[in-house]
Amino acid sequence: MPIRNSKKYIPNKKEKYMCEKHKTYFKLKLTEWKNEIIKSNSQALYSSNLVDNVSSPDIVDQASSYTEKNVEMRTVNRQIKLISKIDAALKRLREGTYGFCEETGEPIGLKRLIARPIATLGIAAQEKHEREEKIHAEL
C-alpha cells in the first residue's frame, strides 16, 4: 500500500535517508511542479496567440511584439528543458537512485533536494563542476 504523507509533511534527518516517506514527498513535489509548468506554458502559448501585433502597421508595435514573443518562447523553451529534468528526477525515483550524487554516489542531502528537487550532484560535486565550467569559459 502506498504511503500517504500529510500536506504539512517535510522530510527530516531523523528518518532513514530516501525512505518511502521521502520518496513519496519528492514524487508529489516533482509531479506538482511539472503540472504547474505545463499549465503555465499552455496559458502563455494560448494568450500569446490572442494578442498579435506583428501585422500592425506601426513598425514599433511590430518590433515590440516580436521581442515579447521572443522572450516568451525562450521562457517556454527553458521550461521545457526543466520538464525534462523533472522527468529524469522522477525516473531516478522509480529506479531508486534519486537523492544520490551522480558523481560520488553520496547522499545529496534533504535541504538541497527540498530547495532544488532536480539536483543530481551533491554540493561539493556541484561546486567542482561550476569551477571547471568557469575555467573552460575563461579559456
What digits encode the pLDDT tens for the residues 38-86? 998 777 666 655 455 556 677 877 777 778 878 878 888 899 999 999 9
Instruction: Measure Cα distances from 116 to 105, 120, 121 in Å.
Output: 18, 9, 11
CATH code 1.20.120.910 region(s) in the chain? 18-98
Alpha helices in 1-139 (DSSP H): 20-50, 59-95, 110-115, 123-138
Which CATH number describes the domain made up of 18-98?
1.20.120.910
CB 38, CB 83: distance < 8 Å: yes
pLDDT score of 41: 79
Query: Which of 134, 124, 82, 130 lies closest to 103 in space, CA to CA?
Result: 124
Across residues 22-34, what is the average pLDDT?
96
pLDDT tier for residue 135 given thresholds of 50, 70 and 90? confident
The Cα 16–Cα 28 span in angstroms is 19
pLDDT score of 101: 97
The Cα 92–Cα 103 span in angstroms is 14
Backbone torsion region of residue 99, taken as left when φ is above 0, otherwise alpha when ψ lies between -120 and 50, otherwise beta: left
Range with the poorest average pLDDT among 22-26, 36-40, 62-66, 86-90: 62-66
Across residues 11-34, what is the average pLDDT?
95
Say what the pTM is: 0.77
Cβ-Cβ contacts under 8 Å for 31 (sequence gap 6 or more): 90
